[in-house]
Amino acid sequence: MRANFIFSEVWIGLRRNLTMTLAVILTVAVGMAMLGVGLMINAQVSMMKDFWYDKVEISVFLCNKNSALETCKGKAVTAQQTKDLEARLKAVPGVEQVIFEDQATAFRNFQESLSNGNVLKQAAKVEDMPTSFRIKLTDPDNYQPVVQAAEGQPGVASVTNQKEMIGNFFAMLDKLRYAALIVAIALVIAAALLIGNTVRLSAYNRRRETGIMRLVGASNIYIQLPFVMEGVIAGLIGGVGAAVMLILAKVFLFDGLAGYFAGRGTLGWDAVAEAITYTMMIGVFICVLASFITLRRYLRV
């Protein structure tokens, strides 16, 4: 195998089809960048999920004396009801921990969560605070049984599930990720077709050479490698372009996004490197595949 011969052939091929080569490089770059952004959103989402789902809990608020809620019927929860309810909640499968929050703790938490000078902060008294159960689940997605067990029980004022609240936010991120993936898939298909076309043009341009190579007994690898290498090199250059775009996306998009969450769940460089590695691998693989399939059809050996 003579490398310089193969590379001079590759160079000639790329130069002859310059416009097609550029089209391939751009399509691969944008397509792979979209794929990478999809992967990065994925990483970002799962990281934020880990962070937030660790903190989510179900709150079962209990009635107090002045509760205006209909479910309380104006009566405060009794000690027996509280005890029964705790036992009931603990019996639900999937419950990791049940913490009882008394009025004093609730008041303290309430005061901490508000800034000084807030009207509510001064107005609220310890007696106004509801007692509640804070329930941690082993799997935050499996909240239904707990909610069912608590709702409608005597002494229960209301049940709030934090998972449902942040769930909407994650659903939106999921949609974003799927959108990026769909665009990426469309572009990857476009890139594959373009590569196929470029290789076909190349094969047609050099049909004299390949005809003679066949005749004098050049091996299939020798005949096909220059064409495949053309695809691979175009794919690699496109991949580098995609990598640059992904780094820019990390710096300007994801780091900016993380700012809104006060530094919680910032996408690390390792995730970017992983996305770049995957997109490069997929890009080169698609280029090789598209070249081979085209050569099978247009370059009988």
Partner 1 sequence: MIHFDNVTKVYANQNRPALDHVSVDVDKGEFVFLVGPSGSGKSTFLRLILKEERPNSGAIHVAGKDLARLSNFKVPHLRRRIGCVFQDFRLLPNKNVYENVAFALEVIGKPRRFIRKVVPEVIELVGLEGKAHRMPDELSGGEQQRVAMARAFVNRPMILLADEPTGNIDPATSIGIMKVLDRINRTGTTVVMATHDAAIVDSMRKRVVELEDGKIVRDQSRGVYGQAY
Rounded to the nearest angstrom, the gap between the alpha carbon of residue 152 and the centroid of all alpha carbons in its chain is 38
3 binds partner 1 (CB under 8 A): no
5 binds partner 1 (CB under 8 A): yes
Rounded to the nearest angstrom, the gap between the alpha carbon of residue 39 and the centroid of all alpha carbons in its chain is 6
Binding characters for partner 1, 222-251, by CB under 8 A (x = yes): xx----------------------------
**100-108, 118-126, 208-216, 254-262 -> range binding partner 1 (CB under 8 A):** 208-216
Give the one residue of 103, 173, 214, 298 binding partner 1; rule: CB under 8 A: 214
Give the one residue of 79, 91, 119, 216 binding partner 1; rule: CB under 8 A: 216
Yes or no: say if 292 and 201 are a contact pair by the CB < 8 Å rule.
no
Give the one residue of 99, 104, 120, 212 binding partner 1; rule: CB under 8 A: 212
7 binds partner 1 (CB under 8 A): no
189 binds partner 1 (CB under 8 A): no
**123-131, 197-205, 206-214, 278-286 -> range binding partner 1 (CB under 8 A):** 206-214
How far apart, in whole angstroms, are the C-alpha atoms of residue 50 and residue 125? Answer: 35
Interaction site with partner 1 (CB under 8 A): 1-2, 5, 208-209, 211-220, 222-223
